Amino acid sequence: MRDELLRVDAVEGLHDAPAPSRVEAIAADAGVTRQTVYAHFPSRGELLTAVLDRITEEAVAEMDAAELDEGPAADALMRLIEAARRTSGRYPALLRKIDSVPANADDDARRHSPIADRLERVIRRGKATGEFDDRLPTGWLVAVVVGLGHAAGEEAGSGRMSGDEAADALRTTLLRVVGATP
């Protein structure tokens, strides 16, 4: 039952309707009552947090399918970024509104950990092969990549840049940040 309630596409419109009808829509889509939704997720925040965890799982699965240990590290970094972009692109309305969920630093760190691990692996490989500049700490570069990814999403989500413009700016900036050699 919990899996049915966490179907991300069912929760995508959670912010687009008045509060009672949002949960009713999720319940109806899952074929249960609103009370059942609340039995599994006592608050809207808990439901959104669980959905965000599910989106993260999808992103990590896409990253793993991108064969991050194959080919040049710069290409692997771009595949990783594209996998994240594809996943987030499926849920733009939800991800734009997720800021309304009270942030718990421990949950946020836990959620970003598998993504950071994959980024770190690619960055370390690029440094070891000489493709990436090794003067900046790996942890710093991971944090910068994550931050720039969020910034690109915010620019596209706000309409200040198109999705393609934000993706191109992100790719160009990331290659410069890691000091990718041609």
- HEC sequence for the chain: CHHHHCCHHHHCCCCCCCHHHHHHHHHHHHCCCHHHHHHHCCCHHHHHHHHHHHHHHHHHHHHHHCCCCCCCHHHHHHHHHHHHHHHHHCCHHHHHHHHHCCCCHHHHHHHHHHHHHHHHHHHHHHHHHCCCCCCCCHHHHHHHHHHHHHHHHHHHHHCCCCHHHHHHHHHHHHHHHCCCCC
pLDDT at 133: 94
Task: Give me the residue spans of the domains in the chain.
Answer: 1-42, 51-177
Task: Give the per-residue pLDDT at 83.
Answer: 93
Considering only the top CATH level, what class is 51-177? mainly alpha
pLDDT the model gives residue 70:
96
Q: pTM above 0.95?
A: no
Digit-coded pLDDT (tens) for 101-116: 556 777 777 878 999 9
What span, in angstroms and rounded, lies between the C-alpha atoms of 52 and 98?
A: 8
Nearest CA among 46, 55, 66 for reference residue 153: 55
Query: Is pLDDT of 131 > 90?
Result: yes
How confident is residue 135, by pLDDT bands cut at 50, 70 and 90? very high
Asked if residue 21 has pLDDT above 90, the reply is no
Kindly indicate the confidence band of residue 123, based on its pLDDT and cuts at 50, 70 and 90. Answer: very high
Higher-pLDDT residue of 99, 108: 108
C-alpha distances (whole Å) from 106 to each of 54, 101, 127 are: 17, 14, 29
Tell me what the mean pLDDT of segment 172-178 comes to. Answer: 96
Q: Is the pLDDT of residue 121 over 90?
A: yes
Tokens of 127: 């440094």
Whether the predicted pLDDT of 66 surpasses 70: yes
